């Protein structure tokens, strides 16, 4: 006897063999009901950023050896690098950042960022969410009690329905052994709002994003057939009385299918489409090509892209800091970020795209016995550009040794308030934690000098 056929031409046995359950796994989580709405924000900079690129200096780059050089300090603090002039009169940065020095008029530098923690995990959470990690302790790993990262906060308060993710993180996932870095997820607002995590080297010729690739032997026509099959199954589930859950799955499946069949998103990851001259400008390395993909994703409509400049402790230079920065870390960073700024400007995207570069903290003023610098939360730097940020300025300064802010200190909470403000989300919006308790999304203050101007 021939097995019964479904509308799409699949038998019941074929449904199981062809991976029906796997296809159901493609579904994205539906938007939760009852969220607080994003309240309007005030000020000319509010909502200016339609998109955002976070350049995260994993492990924490030294401010002394990049953007806050202490030329008059003793040798054990000053370090080995020489300063070079920037396009901001009177302001100098490291000699190994020549491209960024020439473009200093395009961005603002904040030299008085500060918090009171020296642990990688807790500090990463603080910088990438704008809030301290709940119940934080040394090396506390990520959990669903954490605060949402910026893309997750935006997704929660301004959900999308076009099949595009609100956030994409690449090219690495911050994890080492049993430790998963917090600040990469949606935390207590739930996995529904987690950003996409893309792991792979876009500088390799065989780079692809598996989540956007159909299984071998499955083309878009077959996918449409499976959608027909799922429609039939969903209708039967509805008749069985599973209405609420079925409606959720149907919406999730529709979003998943739209992602897989939309050329817009798939093409954004296809860096091979870029001319060689463009790829060369960004640098033929993992960081440079990741930044190029970030521009392509923003151009495709993805609101927030985070590019991790290496693995979890790339800039964690406790030893041999000067040859490491000079030979391996600063040149690709300099080339890639400067190309990103140029590219966004040339494409008319700078006015609507916020670029933010920073690590989780700074480094100690005094060079240690291994020729490196250790963790230092009390003082570090951040670079901001686009979307209403007034370029060509340096905000705040540190003391003579770069140990503490000598002017007003800005916390990661203030960074978070600024990010949400620029994205058109009220930092004081009320969300609910996993226990249903109302909490304020952010408790910082917008860094107003970014938009109003400040003296060097």
75 contacts 342 by C-beta, under 8 angstroms: no
Query: Is residue 123 within a helix (H) or strand (E), and if so which, with residue range?
Result: helix 120-129
pTM of the predicted protein model: 0.84
pLDDT at 89: 95
Structure tokens at 102: 């020439």
In degrees, rounded to 5, the angle at the alpha carbon of residue 419 between the alpha carbons of residues 118 and 148 is: 65
φ, ψ for residue 101 (rounded to 5)?
Answer: -60, -40
For the purposes of burial, counting CB atoms within 10 Å of the CB of 422, is it exposed (0-12), middle (13-18) or buried (19 or more)?
buried
| Residues 330, 322: Cα–Cα separation, whole Å | 10
pLDDT above 60 (res 116): yes
User: Strands 107-113 and 393-395, how do they pair?
Assistant: parallel
- Number of other CB atoms surrounding residue 9 within 10 Å: 11
- Number of other CB atoms surrounding residue 423 within 10 Å: 27
Three-state secondary structure call for residue 41: coil
Task: List pLDDT tens digits, range 83-111.
Answer: 999 999 999 999 999 999 999 999 999 99
Task: List pLDDT tens digits, range 431-455.
Answer: 988 888 999 999 999 999 999 986 5
CATH architecture of structural domain 37-216+278-452? 3-Layer(aba) Sandwich (3.40)
Task: List pLDDT tens digits, range 29-69.
Answer: 333 333 444 444 445 788 899 999 999 999 999 999 999 99
pLDDT above 60 (res 158): yes
| Mean per-residue pLDDT of the chain | 85
Does residue 433 have a cis bond before it (omega within 30 degrees)? no
pLDDT above 80 (res 357): yes
Does residue 100 have a cis bond before it (omega within 30 degrees)? no
308 contacts 56 by C-beta, under 8 angstroms: yes
CA 273 to chain centre: 23
Domain ranges of the chain: 37-216+278-452
């Amino acid at each position: 006897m021939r097995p019964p056929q479904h509308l799409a031409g699949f038998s019941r046995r074929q449904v199981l063999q062809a991976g029906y359950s796997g296809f159901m796994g493609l579904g994205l989580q539906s938007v939760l009901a009852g969220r607080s709405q994003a309240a309007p924000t005030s000020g000319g900079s509010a909502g200016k950023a339609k998109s955002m690129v976070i350049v995260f200096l994993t492990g924490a780059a030294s401010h002394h050896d990049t953007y806050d050089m202490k030329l008059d300090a003793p040798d054990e603090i000053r370090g080995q690098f020489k300063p070079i002039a920037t396009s901001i009169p009177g302001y100098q940065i490291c000699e190994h950042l020549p491209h960024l020095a020439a473009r200093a008029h395009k961005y603002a530098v904040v030299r008085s960022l500060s918090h009171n923690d020296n642990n990688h995990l807790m500090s990463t959470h603080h910088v990438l969410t704008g809030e301290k990690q709940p119940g934080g302790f040394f090396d506390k790993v990520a959990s669903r009690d954490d605060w949402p990262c910026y893309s997750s906060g935006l997704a929660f308060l301004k959900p999308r329905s076009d099949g595009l993710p609100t956030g994409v993180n690449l090219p690495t996932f911050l994890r080492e052994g049993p430790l998963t870095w917090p600040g990469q997820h949606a935390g207590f607002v739930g996995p529904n709002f987690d950003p996409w995590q893309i792991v792979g080297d876009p500088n390799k010729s065989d780079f692809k994003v598996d989540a956007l690739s159909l299984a071998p032997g499955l083309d878009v026509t077959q996918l449409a057939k499976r959608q027909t099959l799922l429609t039939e199954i969903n209708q039967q589930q509805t008749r069985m009385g599973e209405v609420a859950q079925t409606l959720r799955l149907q919406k999730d499946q529709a979003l998943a299918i739209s992602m897989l069949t939309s050329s817009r998103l798939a093409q954004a990851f296809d860096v091979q489409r870029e001319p060689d001259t463009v790829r060369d400008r960004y640098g033929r390395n993992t960081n440079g090509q990741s930044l190029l993909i970030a521009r392509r994703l923003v151009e495709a409509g993805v609101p927030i892209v985070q590019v991790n400049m290496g693995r979890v402790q790339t800039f964690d230079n406790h030893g041999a800091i000067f040859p490491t920065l000079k030979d391996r870390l600063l040149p690709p960073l300099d080339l890639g970020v400067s190309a990103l700024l140029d590219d966004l400007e040339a494409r008319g995207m700078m006015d609507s795209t916020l670029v933010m570069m920073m690590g989780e903290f700074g480094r100690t003023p005094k060079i240690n016995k291994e020729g490196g610098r250790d963790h230092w939360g009390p003082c570090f730097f951040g670079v901001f550009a686009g979307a209403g940020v007034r370029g060509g300025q340096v905000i705040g300064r540190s003391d003579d040794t770069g140990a503490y802010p000598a002017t007003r200190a800005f916390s990661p909470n203030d960074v978070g308030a600024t990010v949400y403000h620029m994205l058109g989300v009220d930092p004081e919006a009320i969300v609910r934690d996993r226990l249903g308790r109302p909490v304020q999304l952010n408790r910082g203050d917008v860094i107003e000098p970014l938009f109003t101007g400040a003296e060097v």
